[in-house]
Structure 1
Amino acid sequence: MGRFRYLKSFFKQYKWYYAFGIFWLLVVNGIQMFVPRLLGNITDQLAEGLLDGSDLVRYAIILASIGLLMGVSRALWRIYITGSARRLEYFIRTKLFLHLQKLSPSYFNRMKTGDIMAHATNDINAVRMAFGGGIIMMTDAIVLTVITTILMLAQVGWQLTLIAMVPLPFLALGVVSFGKVIHRRFKRVQAAFSSMTESVQENLSGIRVVKAFVQEDEEINRFKKSAQEHVDKNIHLIKIWGVLQPLVQVISTLSVILIIMFGGIAVINGDISIGDFVAFNTYLTLLIWPMMAIGHVINVLQRGRASMDRLNTILDEEPDIYDGDNALDVDVKGDVEIKDLTFKYEDGTEALKNINLKIKRGETLAIIGRTGSGKTTLVNLLLRLANPPRDTVFIDGVDINDIKLKPLRESIGYVPQDNFLFSTNISGNIAFALKDYEQKQVEEAAKFAHVYDNIIEFPQKFDTMMGERGVTLSGGQKQRVSIARAIIKDPNILILDDSLSAVDTQTEEEILRQLKDIMKSRTSIIISHRVSTVKDADEIIVMDDGEIVERGNHEELVDKDGLYANLHYKQQLEEKLGSA
């Protein structure tokens, strides 16, 4: 069960469901074993002229009752086994989703979305089939083979039974050999499906860019290539499956040929009755089905094994960011201190160098600098989207690594650069962080973010549904909805990461004026490329190549005539030229 270790809790909970399902499956198999003997008796009695009309009616009622009982039993094993397999599908999918929520952002930087989606669809479906149809066919194959063999021995003796079993060792050898190949090839099929899914997902997410650059034909060719790769891998699998199934059928048919030859001779010689021969052939027919099903069983089980291996790769992944054993449930107030912080990414790239900062609650820190200077990395460390070195980042005097993630992140209102919005209505996007909320709260947050007037102009107002990633709104509107989403949390630390870049200067001033009252009582960090956004901050730091190269208030930095002053003069000139 090492491969299926993550499913142990499920099987512990639903073991009796599977037990009941297998019980009713065995009932069906047992009844099937009775039918050939009954048909043999009817055949012998008909041959000897011992049956009359009432006997035929009695046998007809018995056969009808058997059919009814088999129908009920089949319905019950489907409910228990197939139903449990569907519950297993839900269990794995939920477990996978919950695990993905725990993983660190770095994992999603190196994993493709399409690959993860393939795991959540095709792979889970393959495991469900293994523990649904796979269990049914495997039980049938084992039970029918064992019981049928015993009855055949009792019916006509070991000689004919042995003749019927001659092909079975060859069948077993072929199935084992083919099963290993199926396992390898199916893993390649799933990998190709992941690649194709990623191609589609990426294309649809960037469809506006594709159309703007007239790259439809190139994207179609790229998709065709990945789709053809998927087809090729499937055909590679089908070839081995296509050989296995006819091979099983040929070997099964060989048993029938041998029995017709030797069984027919036994009837002619009077060694067995024609009724025994009919019963034996019926038993053999029952035996042929599980023999033929072995190939399908191996195919389904090997697919399930291969998919479980792929799922285990994700489930075995450990998050880089987690609550330590001694993590504290801190009521975050908002005093932030950074001491001698130097931070490197996993690849060794040094993103921050010797950063020292102190921000008291109620103060506003502004960070300005060129793209790639380390501004967002610094914010990510405050959110613990990456782990800072110990004894470098403190909140309220506590090392951030010792604060539990939930209270830390709940205390921070964050507006990221990409302004991601979900495919729900505007109210749901603004109140995303709240379990229960009143519409009045949503409207007040929208007013603070200066987006209320835009929203009420929509026909559905706050019930307006967002398109994927919020495409219903303009860039500036998305930024302001994101600001409202941060404000409604009433956080003690507010972080705006270049979140006013898509609005005009006048709207920016109005938003900042609205935010001033909110920012008075909390720690605020504003990242921007615009001097106009940061000029009223208590302290401004200028970052370049991961270092703080200038710091002070607006007037002090302008007087220094450095990078900040140069940026200030350039933007003033741009404004004058734009208004000219």
Structure 2
Amino acid sequence: MKDLAYLNKFLIKYKWRLIPGIFFVIISNIFAVLPAQVIRVAFDLVKENISIYMLFNGFDRQELVYRIFGYSLMLFGLTVLLLSLLRGLFLFFMRQTIILMSRHIEYDLKNEIYSHYQQLSMAFFRRNNTGDLMNRVTEDVSRVRMYLGPGIMYTINTVVLSVMIIFAMITVNIKLAVYCLLPLPLLVLAIYFVNSIINRRSEMIQQQLSALSSLVQETFSGIRIVKSFVREDTIRANFAAESERYKTNSMALVRVQALFFPLMVLLVGISTIITIYIGGREVMNGTITSGNIAEFIIYVNQLTFPVISLGWVTSLIQRAAASQKRINEFLHTEPEIVSNTQEQTIITGEIKFSGVSFIYPDTGIKALDNVSFTVKPGEFVAIIGKTGSGKSTIANLIMRMYDVTSGELLIDGNPIQKLNLASYRQQVGFVPQEVFLFSETIANNIAFGNSAIGSHEIQQAAKDAAVYQNIVELEQGFETMIGERGITLSGGQKQRVSIARALAKKPAILIFDDCLSAVDTKTEEEILSNLGKNMKGKTSILIAHRVSTIKNADKILVLDQGKIIEQGTHDQLIEGQGAYFELYEKQLLEEEEQN
């Protein structure tokens, strides 16, 4: 229960749903116990009236006795019906308070987890896979809700009903009560044992279902690759194998469940037989009436559900505790990147790296080693280098997805850690290397970073990214829905929509992380020309592999193994005949061979 203690704050928050719910549980159980006593009186009345009826055999009064007897039975029947209706009414109120409380807490908990996810740093998302993150906010929260709703409700109901019934049995006849209750501990142990097996096999089924779902999702996500390599038969065989394992586990669970219900009925039946046998002897001894036997049989059957629910609730609590422990692990994870001020700052765009080194915390790879350079406001700086040289790391540090390991990163002369994070990022336009578009309209994707812009500005951003003509040629234009991960568009179109999204923010700093690789040379020149007009007086950083893309930059940084080995303008670097010159010559030769 230590892990579930985290939920106490929610129970306190919704105490005015929980407290009335407990009250309704108690009231509903009072109306559950009373019918047995009414039936006991009715049984005794039947016995007495039969004797009186036989006594007046042959007399006119026999008809009167019969009529009174009939009215009395009808009255008792209506009383039992009324008590059942009242119980049902309070059961409805019970569910409307406690179950609704659990739904409210589920809503709050999901929002809290999701909000916490958004505060966590990039390193956290590199360490944890998406499936696990989703599972904790969906499956684990659902299990916790089952504890907060049905778990709490049936626990209270079980305790209250059991106390009331056992008290009522003892007040009638202690001996008969003890004999009636003898098989119930065995029922509790049997249910707990069988439930443990059911839970274990349910977990196996859940894991197998996750594996099956992952296989299907991966197959459909990569359906083009599957078809291209003609691997349909292999994938189908893999799916059949996973399905067979799922079926095997499911059948094992069904076999246990098939044993569970007959066992339960058997033990309840034994209790009923004991009640009739011992009760019959007590009737013959004159300690109880025949109506008490009927009353006890009803009590025994009423106790069956609390006993069954005891094992079920125990299982719910165990599963909820395990799920809440998993949830707490993430909720107690502190974000590594935090905003240290609420002050909103307007940036001009000066960026200064001073002896910056960076090691990725999750892999231990040293991406940057003592890097120093300055980007003045309005300057166009390009970064080029081999794969793995640290280009994207510079972009991530400027976006403050990570903090530097050593050295200092200054924005407008202020350490980046001292800036309001949300305000700063709002003024930076970032086009990542791996383009991600949402399953939304093209217009909404472009306006993602600046929802306040109008359609004219969205269209202008598309024109500046050289994707306007492609969009208007689509049947629904800017209202075209982009499929999952932008599958509706080509690679180049996705990159240009991503560029338009960054331009629509009208940022003070714009970072292109090798985002022109999928566009042709003509389109690239058009984008760079438009960029020159739009970003005039604003800072631009362009990470690229092609020299042709960056030759007009105000400054070019050449990276190799996390270090700046050369920097200067295109002409200066060509004159230096170093690494940049070799790369330039190599790319020129490749272009000539292609032509």
TM-score by length of 2: 0.90
Q: 1:333 aligns with which of 312, 331, 348?
A: 348
Q: Distance in 1 between matches of 2:221 and 2:338?
A: 30
The answer to whether the aligner puts 1:147 opposite 2:174 as a matched pair is no
SS at match of 1:2: coil
Q: CA deviation at 1:356?
A: 0.8
Larger deviation, residues 205-214 vs 465-474: 205-214
1:239–1:136 Cα change, 3 Å: farther
Q: Is the 8 A contact 1:368 1:543 kept in 2?
A: yes
Residue in 2 that maps onto 1:17: 17
Q: CA deviation at 1:329?
A: 4.3
The answer to whether the aligner puts 1:65 opposite 2:73 as a matched pair is no
Residue in 2 that maps onto 1:86: 103
Q: CA deviation at 1:37?
A: 0.5
Q: Distance in 2 between matches of 1:367 and 1:444?
A: 27
Q: 1:487 aligns with which of 500, 503, 514?
A: 503
Which aligned pairs between 1:220-235 and structure 2 lie closer than 5 A?
220-223=236-239
Q: Distance in 1 between matches of 2:442 and 2:251?
A: 47
Which aligned pairs between 1:90-489 and structure 2 lie closer than 5 A?
90-155=107-172, 157-172=173-188, 192-223=208-239, 249-324=265-340, 329-346=344-361, 347-389=363-405, 391-489=407-505
- Gaps of at least 5 residues in structure 1 are none
1:214–1:377 Cα change, 3 Å: farther
Q: CA deviation at 1:109?
A: 1.8
Q: Is the 8 A contact 1:328 1:402 kept in 2?
A: no
1:62–1:184 Cα change, 3 Å: closer
1:182–1:392 Cα change, 3 Å: farther
TM-score by length of 1: 0.92
Q: 1:513 aligns with which of 520, 529, 549?
A: 529
Q: Distance in 2 between matches of 1:506 and 1:475?
A: 16
1:265–1:300 Cα change, 3 Å: same
Q: CA deviation at 1:528?
A: 0.6
Superposed CA offset, 1:325-351 (max 9, x none): x68643322111001111112232211
Q: Distance in 2 between matches of 1:229 and 1:121?
A: 24
Q: CA deviation at 1:483?
A: 0.8
Q: Distance in 1 between matches of 2:243 and 2:399?
A: 40
Q: Distance in 1 between matches of 2:252 and 2:322?
A: 16
Q: CA deviation at 1:433?
A: 1.2
Q: CA deviation at 1:96?
A: 2.1
Q: CA deviation at 1:495?
A: 0.2
Q: Is the 8 A contact 2:191 2:308 kept in 1?
A: no
Superposed CA offset, 1:59-85 (max 9, x none): 343233223322322222222222222
Q: Distance in 2 between matches of 1:178 and 1:148?
A: 26
Superposed CA offset, 1:260-296 (max 9, x none): 2211211233321111211122112211221233222
Residue in 1 that maps onto 2:564: 548
1:303–1:514 Cα change, 3 Å: same
Q: Is the 8 A contact 1:497 1:528 kept in 2?
A: yes
Q: Is the 8 A contact 1:267 1:273 kept in 2?
A: yes
1:496–1:126 Cα change, 3 Å: same
Superposed CA offset, 1:146-177 (max 9, x none): 1000001112x211111122234445556666
Q: Distance in 1 between matches of 2:4 and 2:355?
A: 47
RMSD over aligned CA atoms reads 2.6
1:35–1:240 Cα change, 3 Å: same
Q: Is the 8 A contact 2:268 2:301 kept in 1?
A: no
Q: Distance in 2 between matches of 1:16 and 1:227?
A: 47
SS at match of 1:48: helix
Which aligned pairs between 1:526-565 and structure 2 lie closer than 5 A?
526-565=542-581
Larger deviation, residues 192-201 vs 117-126: 192-201
1:16–1:232 Cα change, 3 Å: farther
Q: Is the 8 A contact 1:196 1:226 kept in 2?
A: yes
Q: Is the 8 A contact 2:34 2:83 kept in 1?
A: no
Q: Is the 8 A contact 1:338 1:394 kept in 2?
A: yes
Report the AA paired with residue 411 of structure 2: I
Q: Distance in 1 between matches of 2:472 and 2:499?
A: 17
SS at match of 2:584: helix
Q: Distance in 2 between matches of 1:573 and 1:401?
A: 45
1:5–1:231 Cα change, 3 Å: farther
SS at match of 1:502: coil
Residue in 2 that maps onto 1:35: 35
Q: CA deviation at 1:196?
A: 4.4
- Gaps of at least 5 residues in structure 2 are 50-64
Q: Is the 8 A contact 1:140 1:290 kept in 2?
A: yes
Q: Is the 8 A contact 1:249 1:292 kept in 2?
A: no
Q: Distance in 1 between matches of 2:438 and 2:472?
A: 19
Report the AA paired with residue 338 of structure 1: F
Q: Is the 8 A contact 2:143 2:319 kept in 1?
A: yes
Q: Distance in 1 between matches of 2:189 and 2:70?
A: 50
Report the AA paired with residue 153 of structure 2: I
Report the AA paired with residue 299 of structure 2: Y
Superposed CA offset, 1:460-485 (max 9, x none): 11101000011111111111111111
1:190–1:394 Cα change, 3 Å: farther
Larger deviation, residues 110-119 vs 366-375: 110-119
Q: Is the 8 A contact 1:117 1:194 kept in 2?
A: no
The number of equivalent residue pairs is: 577
The answer to whether the aligner puts 1:46 opposite 2:46 as a matched pair is yes
Q: CA deviation at 1:366?
A: 0.2
Residue in 1 that maps onto 2:59: none
SS at match of 1:337: strand
Q: Distance in 1 between matches of 2:229 and 2:85?
A: 66
Residue in 2 that maps onto 1:7: 7
Q: Distance in 2 between matches of 1:342 and 1:55?
A: 93
SS at match of 1:423: coil
Superposed CA offset, 1:164-205 (max 9, x none): 222344455566667777777766665555544444443333
Residue in 2 that maps onto 1:500: 516
SS at match of 2:440: coil
Q: Is the 8 A contact 1:82 1:132 kept in 2?
A: yes
Q: CA deviation at 1:396?
A: 1.0
